[in-house]
Each structure stands twice: as structure tokens, then as C-alpha cells.
Amino acid sequence: MEKIIYLTRNFPPMQGGMERLNFHIYQELRTQYEVLLVGPKGAEAFVGDSSHIQTCPPLPVWRFLISSFWKTWRLIQKRRPSFIFAGSGVAALPAVLAGRLGGVPVLTYLHGLDIIARSHLYQNIFLPAIRRSQGWLVNSRNTRRLAINAGMPAEKIEILHPGTDLPDVAEFGDGKAFRGRIGAGGRPILLSVGRLTRRKGLLEFVDRVLPAIVLRKPDVLLVVIGSEPVQSVAGATGAIERKLHERITQRGFDGNVLFLGNVDDRTLSEAFLTSQLHVFPLLELPGDVEGFGMVAVEAAAHGLPTVAFASGGVPDSVETGVSGWLIQPEDYPAMAEAIVRHLLAPDTSTITPGSCRRFAEQFAWPCLGKKLTGFCRQFLGRIQMAE
């Protein structure tokens, strides 16, 4: 069995969509390769064979970069892998440096922010390293366009959408337990899920969409799941949650918004299953982008439709009339109208829990695994032909 090195900082025990994605990519790669993981400290608890893992301190980032480069280089010398899989743009820097020293090709998986992060340090050090990979996988059509614009050859870029679990909704009951725990009763719930960053657009949603909804549905409850990231490629995020609380109080919506912070997977599933809509009011910001919109697919897998601005890679994760509605970016009146229309007359919509789940099936992890291993074979074949 061929050996590969999988280098990523975004891996459990760190939490988030990228971490779940990298964990599943690791599992799928193990079906075809002997995978040597270089990941964050604590990852050994999530990997069955401790002899196949090297861990590095995840923070500060510079410590991870130095440690992961050294450990990857040592693995190249000892194990002679066929290629290195870098799980993000940040991981591409140590992967490419070690790969060039050891004569091992690098396949890098890119998210939108991996290409357009505005930091001068990132643009002058990380992006050149990313360009020196021998192949690239990207998470959406939009990220592919960004990669081509950044100088990566189109013929070496393949789209690999992130995957999702397809839950057995029957095991979660009717949602009354979740509603009871959060004190929602029978109120209609709008759900927002994800890290609280400027790009997510919740401040603008509270200012420009929520008033129109509350006017028509005074008992509506916006449930916010997630917290601010500790550290990100985009740099400091600012006190987004504090600003949100202040704005909500100023607008008189304290009774209409509930913050749950980070929750476990079961609670998240319960929230998806008992809500009426998932809202995704993303902003288009210079140097920041939503690479794909995985949370919209996760919502669809639970039968929950999404109302989203068609920003970044989100058009790949929502299909209008099937799993939700795509609204032109920053058209807040249209977003408010789409939400109110669904809350007032959900039975008149063509979108159903069944249509949402059918849409999500194409993103199931086995589908991702089949595409991933196929792309890896193509990558190795191209490298061997070039030699």
C-alpha cells in the first residue's frame, strides 16, 4: 500500500467545519493509502494507530509551522511517501518546503480564504508556497476561479466539495426536548450556525432583516450557535459577539435572539431538525470569503432549508427551489420577504424536508471519498508521466 503524509492544523481536537472535513478526508484516504498524519496536539485521541501520527502545538501558528515542517521532513526521510496532502493553505507552507527538500510532490486542498487572505505576510510567504504545490483540490467553483486568478493552472485544479453526514432523523424525536431546554416552546425558530465573524453578516441581519420579520412574526426566535474563533487566517476578528449583544439590546430584540455558543453534535442536529429556517446572511468583504457554505448542506441533510446571500462559494451549497433560496448579496428586503413568506405559509413552498435531504445526498462522505481517491490517482499519474 502506498504511503502518503497528511499535514493539517485543522483536525480534532480543534473544532469547526474545516476540522470535521479534514478528519473525514483522513478517514477516506486511509481506505486506499497508508496515511502518516502530521496534525495538532491531541489528534492522537481521534486516530486509531498512534504509530502513524506526529503531533505539533496548534498555537501559536508559527510553532505549528516549524514543528510540522520538521516532522514532515523526518517522515520523508524515514518512510518515503508517494505524496504529501496539505489540508489547507496554511499547511501548504511546511508541506511544500519539506516536499521540495525531499523530492516529494504536494497536493493542496484550498478554501477561498486560503487564497485571498489580505495579510501581507500571508500573501508574500504562504501564497507563493501554495503556488509551488504540484496539484490543487478546491472546495467550490468560486474557489477554483480565485485559484486560477492567483496563478494556478486550471488543468491541475479539481473541485472537491466538502461532505456531510446523513443523519437518521428518527433518532432525535420531535424536537420538543430541545425546545424545552432553550425555552422556545412553539415559537418559530430561525437558526444561525457558525463562527461569529464579520463575514457572517449577523450585525446587518439584526439591523436590516430581523425588524421586518418581527413586525410580521413577533414571536420569532433567532437562535445563534457558534462563537468567535480563537485565531484565524483572516487575522483579528474583533468583539463580534459583544457588538451583537449591544445591537440587539438597542433594537429591542432581547426576547427574539438566543445565543447558545458552541454545542455538541447531537444538540446541533436537534437545532437543525426543530428550526423552521437556516439563515446565512453573508457579507462580501475584501480579503474574506465564504469558500463553500458547508453549514447549508448540513442543514439540508437534516431537512432544513437555507435562505442565503449568493456570496462566495455558497451557490454550490444551496439550490434555489430545492434546498433553499439564494438572494442577491445585500438585498436585505428580498431576504426578509423570503423568510417571512416561508414562516407564514410553509406548505405553499416547493421546498420540503425531503427535497433538502435529496439535495444533501450528493455530498455524503462516501461520495466525497470516491471523488477524493480518484483525484489522488489522477494526481499521481500526472506526476509519474512528468517524470
Return d(Cα 63, Cα 66) in angstroms, integer. Answer: 5
Task: Please state, in angstroms and rounded to a whole number, the distance separating the CA atoms of residues 192 and 209.
Answer: 13
Do domains 3-163+364-386 and 169-361 share one topology? The answer is yes
Residues 6+ apart with CB under 8 A from 160: 109, 137, 138, 139, 368, 371, 372, 375
* pLDDT (0 to 100) of residue 386: 79
CB 240 within 8 A of CB 277: no
d(CA 233, CA 130): 14
Q: How high is the pLDDT of residue 348?
A: 75
The length of the chain, given as a count of residues: 387
The span from the CA of 207 to the CA of 106, in Å, is: 45
Residue 248's nearest CA partner among 215, 279, 282, 202 is 202
The model carries a pTM of: 0.88
Q: Would you identify the CATH topology of the domain 3-163+364-386?
A: Rossmann fold (3.40.50)
Q: CB count, 10 Å around CB of 368?
A: 20
Cβ contacts of 385 within 8 Å, gap of 6 or more: none
Cell of 351: 421546498
- CATH class in words for 169-361: alpha beta
Does residue 237 contact residue 197 with C-beta atoms inside 8 Å?
A: yes
Distances (CA, A) of 84 to 34, 222, 226, 303: 12, 43, 32, 37
93: CB partners within 8 A, 6+ apart = 65, 69, 125, 126, 129, 130
Averages of pLDDT over runs of 10 residues in the chain (387 residues) are 95 87 95 96 87 93 97 96 97 98 97 89 94 97 96 97 92 87 96 91 96 97 87 53 93 96 93 97 87 94 97 95 96 97 86 96 95 96 85
Backbone angles phi, psi at 164, to 5 degrees: -150, 160
CA angle (286 as vertex; 281, 290 as ends), nearest 5:
45
CB atoms within 10 A of CB 246: 12
The structural domains of the chain, with segments of one domain joined by +, span 3-163+364-386, 169-361
Q: What is the pLDDT of residue 230?
A: 59
For position 206, what pLDDT does the model report?
A: 96
Segment holding 157, helix H or strand E: strand 157-159
- What pLDDT does residue 235 have? 43
State the pLDDT at residue 234.
Answer: 43
d(CA 184, CA 286): 37
Burial class (CB in 10 A: 0-12, 13-18, 19+), 146: buried
* Cα gap 339→246, rounded to integer Å: 24
Whole-angstrom Cα distance, residue 229 to residue 44? 23
